[in-house]
Amino acid sequence: MSFFNNYDRDQIYNEMEGKSSGSSGGIVAKTLSIVLLISLGFASGSIFSAYQNSKTSGSSGNIPVIQTSSNNSGTAYTISHTDVSGIVTKCADSVVEIGIEAQTSLGYYTYTQQGNGSGVIISSDGYILTNNHVISGANKITVTLRNGTNYEATLVGTDSKTDIAIIKIDANNLTVANIGDSDKLVVGELAVAIGNPLGQLGGTVTDGIISALEREITIDSKKMNLIQTNAAINPGNSGGGLFNANGDLIGVVVAKSSGFDVEGLGFAIPVNDVKDVINDILQHGYATNRPFLGVSMKDTSYSNGNDSFYSFFFQQVSYGALVDEVTKDSPAEKAGIQKNDIIISINNEVVSSASEVSTKISTFNVGDKVTIGLIRDGKTLNVEATLEEYKGQQ
């Protein structure tokens, strides 16, 4: 398939003027004028007919074929057009707005943070697909349908590796997105994004093309193979839908590339990559076969000198991840990892941040034994942990 701009009609202008030098010349000129006018009449009628047909066909949301032509090499190609309003009619009601509230403690103070995102309805009885990062840490999740109805949602399950989450609202007879086949995408075909940009503009529709496939992008220290599109993506679109010309869901919007002078770089998770994860979460409440160590961590800077004078005059090096909490009965606790340990290596490979530890753990399989390098009370030591299957938030 190809992406094509809206149908443009070229108006035909033809001015005929001249002076005859004799009666025979005048007759010839008049005759030629009549022939040309008749020809133009047929041509104009054909163009008008094609345009009317394109308008009628386009209103359904499908791609009607307008004409077949050829390039300079003689290779035939098909020019097609689509009416985005037909796509919107089919699938806009399946996209929802998501609002979250998360409470954060800072010393003696607790304050509430608010966030926004989007989601896609995947069952008529209220299951909604979104990004894990949209609802991560939320104490309260609110869903707003396109008709303005509000619901409080419950979390069904998440998968941080694919950045997928499923939430549930108590509703029925909802409009469900038709799941497409992202393996059949072709660079250049139409892409339509629907979501809640800026957390205030729910139901916003933007269109563009599939700009690239299998883009390896690092997000939160996780490498992901994503669909690239130039359909406008903004904060708040995360978790929303990327649809093809048939109105089928082909991707879950995950990010836009930000920075000065950066436009037209949006990314979505191919829907085929997360179908199994979605089924796992619906059946078990978590994604199966995900290795689990059992620690919560935060980044730290560990000085390569214990003397305060040395630490003051020399730059501290980001070195490892501080263990903030150890899950009870987890592989980490069984291996002897303690709170305030600093994880500095996994299987003798240095790690410099909490996200890097998580990324490396995710590359192993359930049941694998891994050697964890630690710093405890200024001394280094190694422990061995046997990774278990993560079974969601307990």
Per-domain residue ranges of the chain:
23-82, 88-168, 182-272, 291-389
pLDDT, tens only, 269-318? 999 999 999 999 999 999 898 899 999 888 876 544 444 443 444 334 45
Q: How many helices (H) and strands (E) does the chain have?
A: 7, 22
Question: How many angstroms separate the CA atoms of 118 and 143, rounded?
Answer: 9
Q: Which residue has the tokens 């007919």?
A: 49
| Cα dist from 110 to 55, 105, 113, 325, whole Å | 57, 4, 10, 20
The yes or no reply on domain 182-272 and CATH 2.40.10.10 is yes
On whether the CB atoms of residues 154 and 141 are closer than 8 A, the answer is yes
Answer whether 88-168 and 291-389 agree in fold. no
- Strand pairing partners for 65? 80
| Cα dist from 64 to 84, 87, 249, 255, whole Å | 13, 14, 20, 32
CATH topology for the 88-168 domain: Thrombin, subunit H (2.40.10)
Question: How many angstroms separate the CA atoms of 133 and 152, rounded?
Answer: 18
Q: What is the pLDDT of residue 276?
A: 93
Question: How many angstroms separate the CA atoms of 335 and 326, rounded?
Answer: 11
Q: What is the pLDDT of residue 318?
A: 55
Secondary structure of residue 136 in the 3-state scheme: coil
Would the pTM of this model clear 0.85, i.e. be above it?
A: no
User: HEC string of 153-193?
Assistant: EEEEEEECCCCEEEEECCCCCCCCCCECCHHHCCCCCEEEE
Question: How many angstroms separate the CA atoms of 352 and 306, rounded?
Answer: 19
The yes or no reply on domain 291-389 and CATH 2.30.42.10 is yes
Cβ contacts of residue 137 below 8 Å, gap of 6+? Answer: 102
Residue 69 phi/psi, 5-degree rounding, is -140, -165
Look at residue 20 and tell me whether its pLDDT is greater than 90: no
Cite the active site residues. Answer: 133, 163, 238
**How many CB atoms within 10 Å of residue 112?**
10
pLDDT, tens only, 307-341? 444 344 433 445 788 998 999 999 999 999 999 99
- Strands 95-106, 140-144: pairing is antiparallel
Q: Exposed, middle or buried: residue 213 (CB in 10 Å: 0-12, 13-18, 19+)?
A: middle
User: HEC string of 231-281?
Assistant: CCCCCCCCCCEEECCCCCEEEEEEEECCCCCCCCCEEEEEHHHCHHHHHHH
Question: How many angstroms separate the CA atoms of 53 and 60, rounded?
Answer: 12
pLDDT, tens only, 32-85? 444 444 444 444 444 344 434 443 443 334 433 333 334 444 554 444 456 788
- Strand pairing partners for 292? 388
Q: How many residues does the chain have?
A: 394
Look at residue 391 and tell me whether its pLDDT is greater than 60: yes
